[in-house]
Homo-oligomer: A and B are copies of this chain.
Amino acid sequence: MLARDADRLNGIVREVAHTHAFPVDVTNIAALEATIDAVEERLGPPDVVVHNAVGGSFGGFLQIDPEVLARNFDVNVMALLHLARRVAPGMISRGSGTIIATGNTSALRGKPAFAGFAPTKAAQRILAEAIARELGPQGVHVAYLVIDAVIDVPWTRERFPDRPDHFFINPAHIAGEILHLVKQPRSAWSFNAEVRPYREAW
């Protein structure tokens, strides 16, 4: 697991067996590359890479600080490019591996309040598609999972205190979907995938 917050990562490591914390800001390319080196040294080359980092923000195009859009591009797109460039050569030489990026419906349409965010998810999806088409024939699976819901974690429960359980998507079920994508046999791979709670309007 890569994330900026070492305390949070270490908390997960204590809770979940076989996890490892590698604190890093994925927009710091040199640090990101050094971290992947450290991961490989400790765990070997990765079979599965999930790009789940997300820089989000709310606000119309006149309200946001333009730097927010640039920052979200670094997190959502440039980090995916650097990750993929770093791990793809090994996956190609092994003829196997999976790279999954997660996004949301912002990747598909631009709503006014997501002006500082949606463009970067759209860019992330199209970058993943370009990578998928290049790596697929070489045996490396790339998929893009749209999570069309608010994820059920402590801070979203605080933010939406009046919502019923079925409003949220269970993070374990997102993980289950990712695991399914990882295990797909190569005669039947998905690129586009999506999950939403059964009561979600779409």
Residues in B with CB closer than 8 Å to A84 are 61
Cross-interface CB contact of A118 among B70, B81, B109, B127, cutoff 8 Å: B127
Are A176 and B170 in touch, CB under 8 angstroms?
no
A56 CB within 8 Å of chain B = no
The docked-state distance in angstroms from the alpha carbon of A196 to that of B78 is: 27
Tell me whether A197 and B192 are in contact in the complex, defined as CB-CB below 8 angstroms, given that A125-B122, A130-B111, A134-B112 are known contacts.
no
Beta-carbon contacts under 8 Å, A25-66 to B: 29, 60-62, 66
Residues in B with CB closer than 8 Å to A196 are 188-191
- Which of A4-12, A155-163, A178-186 lies at the interface with chain B? A178-186
A94 CB within 8 Å of chain B = no
Cross-interface CB contact of A77 among B111, B112, B119, B195, cutoff 8 Å: B119
Q: Closest approach, in angstroms, between the C-beta of A28 and any C-beta of chain B? A: 13
Are B66 and A82 in touch, CB under 8 angstroms?
yes
Are B202 and A187 in touch, CB under 8 angstroms?
no
A3 CB within 8 Å of chain B = no
A14 CB within 8 Å of chain B = no
Q: Closest approach, in angstroms, between the C-beta of A183 and any C-beta of chain B? A: 9
A169 CB within 8 Å of chain B = yes
Beta-carbon contacts under 8 Å, A87-140 to B: 88-89, 106, 109-112, 114-115, 118-134, 136-137, 139
Are A61 and B194 in touch, CB under 8 angstroms?
no
